[in-house]
A and B are shown apart, each in its own frame.
Chain A
Amino acid sequence: MEKREEVMLIELAAAGDRKAAARLIQAHQQSLFAYMLRMTGNPDIAEDVVQDAFVRVLKNLDRFDPRFRFSTWLFTIAKRLWMNMAAKHKPVYDSDIVGGRAGSGTEPWEPTVADEDRRLGSDAIGRALMELGAEQREIVVLFHQQEWPIALIAEHMGMPEGTVKSHLHRGRKKMRVYFEEHESRALTERFAREAAWA
């Protein structure tokens, strides 16, 4: 979407035009969800955050400064929401929670971890990303998935471009190593399961 068209949609939506608001959502929902999915590693959380971010943005559209990028604003808000959510939901150690995460197999000894692996096995890259620190992960995702330029990422992250690049290089190397690991593990497990069935 061109900047001019986007600014026009923002103005219309800020004036209460629902169609314009819908078009803004449609224009950004794919990239925002992809970003949040990779940041959170959890589609349910990503969905909640994206929904909330759009709601907040729409309620405050008239406060948007068109000198800035709308997507940067949107992503920043989504990130803040997620950070707040993450801070609120510290790990809880509770027997109910443990029970809720029990393996879904019919036998009690079927490991929970295997269930997780089955759920995530096809997403080696998602798991690799979750091995990175939040900062490195965000930079890698913004650069490679969202294709933001380094300068914009630096502005978004509030750090010098050189630091962004260092994070990017280190994060990418780690991502590659973990990607290989998770991919080969998923393959091994698949072969093991197939062998068991044979």
Chain B
Amino acid sequence: MSGGDVNNPGSRGELDIDRLVDAVFDREVPAERSREVFEALSRDPEAARSFTETGRAVEALREPVGSPDFVAGVLGEVGATQGFVTAGERSWLAGARWAIAAAVVVVVGVGFWAERAFVAEEPVPMAGAASADVSDTSTEMQYASAMPVSALVRSTPRAVGASVERVADGAREVRESFGRRVLGLAESGAAAGETRDLFTHDGMAADLIPAEASVVKVGGPVSDSQHFGRFEKRAGSWAHELASAVGDRGRAVFSVEAIDGAWAGRVMRIGAEDFADLPWAVDASSVTGRVFSVMGADGEYSVRVIGFGRESDLGESDNRGVAGVVLPVAGGVVVPASSRDDAPLGLSR
């Protein structure tokens, strides 16, 4: 079959019936050309039959489908579980969370300063430096994009100056690679937990699964925006893309790296293209995951949360479903905004 513009068949000397039929069903043939179309079809019985049958199938597809009434059921379910959360309530909650986060950041900052000023650089046991459990994550992580999860970091003085030696065996690469300016570092598994559904603007990851270890590096001033990135499996390889940006679409000026202990040695990559002034370039590898961010005003610390999970393989290329686990910052490393520490092993500047 030859190509050509179906609205200008004469330009190629002959009309491609298949393309014409497609154009008709694509709603691309103007009404004034319909007579011409049918004349062409009348000269090709097979094409005419195909056209008719396609039309019947399309008409059948358009037939109205009787739908149940969902109003009572949906409103009943919404009311039974949590009711409507008004924008005001959610705004109040978000404010409270930010206040907690800010308080934690101040404590972390003071602790860090104190450690730098007065404490010898002796490795400090990490137990209790940060913690998160299933209840933390399930409660707090429902809306990752609005969650100051840094509030989950506890016992910050113990974390100050913590040696990376305290990272559990599952994340050896991390232990050997982080620099000294790490503020807090949870032991491997501290952030493990199963979260409930995560909701994002363009979709959700439901049915989350547990993951074991993760080390997340967080920090830096940010612009007032929120990003949601996702990993997708396309044509057999993983790619990261910025799926949505909410707010003023400002760029973050820091980045996050993570090494998932469950797949030791594999480095999760957050695309440099998403973040300005990325401290590290990261070698991409085949790890699935989701990246969420929570950002404050310029100069504030911010928190990012890395979720690990598995893809839902639904065949063909429709392979974007990612069920994941969101690991709070309690399972990670916090660094100051100005940090340019050596990159973790496997990452390069």
Show the binding face of B for A, using Cβ within 8 Å: 22, 25-26, 50, 53-54, 56-58, 60-65, 67-71, 73-75, 77-78, 81-88, 90, 143, 197, 199, 201-207, 232, 246, 312-318, 320-321, 323
Closest A residue, CB atoms, query B82: A59
Q: Does A9 contact B (CB under 8 A)?
A: no
Q: How far is the CA of A180 from the CA of B45 in the complex (A)?
A: 17
Give the Cβ gap from B268 to chain A, nearest Cβ, in Å: 21
Given contacts A80-B203, A83-B321, A134-B315, contact A50 B53 (CB under 8 A): no
Taken together as a complex, chains A and B put the C-alpha atoms of A13 and B87 apart, in Å, by: 10
Q: Is A112 an interface residue (CB 8 A)?
A: no
Q: In the complex the two chains form, is A84's CB within 8 Å of B323's CB?
A: yes
Choose from A54, A63, A88, A138 the contact partner of B201 (Cβ within 8 Å): A63
* Pick from A30, A54, A124, A135: contact of B60, CB under 8 Å: A124
A interface, by DSSP: helix, strand, loop or mixed?
A: helix
Complex contact A29–B58 (CB within 8 A): no
Known contacts A25-B71, A83-B318, A172-B57; can you find 14 more A-B pairs with CB under 8 A? A13-B84, A14-B84, A14-B87, A21-B84, A30-B67, A47-B68, A64-B201, A65-B246, A73-B201, A80-B321, A83-B312, A134-B318, A145-B62, A172-B54
With contacts A50-B70, A80-B204, A179-B60 taken as known, whether A135 is within 8 angstroms of B317 at the C-beta atoms is: yes
Interface size class of A (residues with CB under 8 A): 35 or more
When chains A and B are docked, how far (Å) is the Cα of A22 from the Cα of B190? Answer: 43
In the assembled complex, the CB of B25 is this many whole angstroms from the nearest CB of chain A, namely 6
Q: Indicate if the CB atoms of B62 and A86 lie closer than 8 Å.
A: no
Instruction: Choose among B54, B67, B206, B207 the residue that contacts A33 (Cβ–Cβ < 8 A).
Output: B67
Interface flags, A62-84, vs B, CB<8A=1, else 0: 11110000000100110111011
| B204 near A56: Cβ-Cβ < 8 Å | yes
Q: How far is the CA of A95 from the CA of B54 in the complex (A)?
A: 41
B residues in contact with A56, CB < 8 Å: 197, 199, 204
Closest 9 CB pairs of A and B: A87-B312, A125-B60, A33-B67, A179-B57, A83-B321, A34-B65, A16-B84, A62-B87, A54-B74
Question: Chain A contacts of B61 at CB under 8 A?
Answer: 38, 125, 129, 140-141, 144-145, 175
- In the assembled complex, 13 residue pairs joining A and B whose CB atoms fall closer than 8 Å, in A order, are A14-B87, A15-B88, A18-B84, A33-B65, A51-B70, A54-B74, A81-B206, A84-B312, A84-B321, A86-B314, A134-B316, A172-B22, A179-B57
B203 to chain A, nearest CB (A): 4
Q: For the complex, give the distance between the alpha carbons of A80 and B100 in Å.
A: 33
Report A51 CB to chain B, min CB distance, Å.
Answer: 6
The CA of A135 and the CA of B319, in the complex, are separated in Å by: 10
Residues of A within 8 A of B82 (CB): 59
Per the bound structure, the CA–CA distance linking A79 and B318 in Å amounts to 11
CA distance A96 to B140 in the complex (A): 40
The answer to whether B74 and A25 have CB atoms under 8 Å apart is: yes
List the B side residues contacting A133 at CB < 8 Å. Answer: 315-316, 318
Is A118 on the interface with B (CB-CB < 8 A)?
no
Contact of B75 among A15, A21, A37, A88 (CB under 8 A): A21
Binary interface profile of A, 23-34, with partner B (CB < 8 Å = 1, else 0)? Answer: 001100110011
* CB pair B65 A83 closer than 8 Å: no
- Asked whether A29 lies within 8 Å of B204 as measured between CB atoms, the reply is no
Best-surrounded residue of A22, A83, A86, A150 (most CB of chain B within 10 A): A83
Give the contacts of A95-144 with B (CB-CB under 8 A).
124-125, 128-129, 133-135, 138, 140-141, 144
Chain A residues near B53 (CB-CB < 8 A) = 176, 179-180
Tell whether, in the assembled complex, residue A135 and residue B316 are in contact, meaning their CB atoms are under 8 Å apart.
yes
Q: Nearest-CB distance from A23 to chain B (Å)?
A: 9
Report yes or no: A77 in contact with B203, Cβ–Cβ below 8 A.
Answer: yes
Task: Kindly provide the distance from the CB of A170 to the nearest chain B CB, expressed in whole angstroms.
Answer: 10
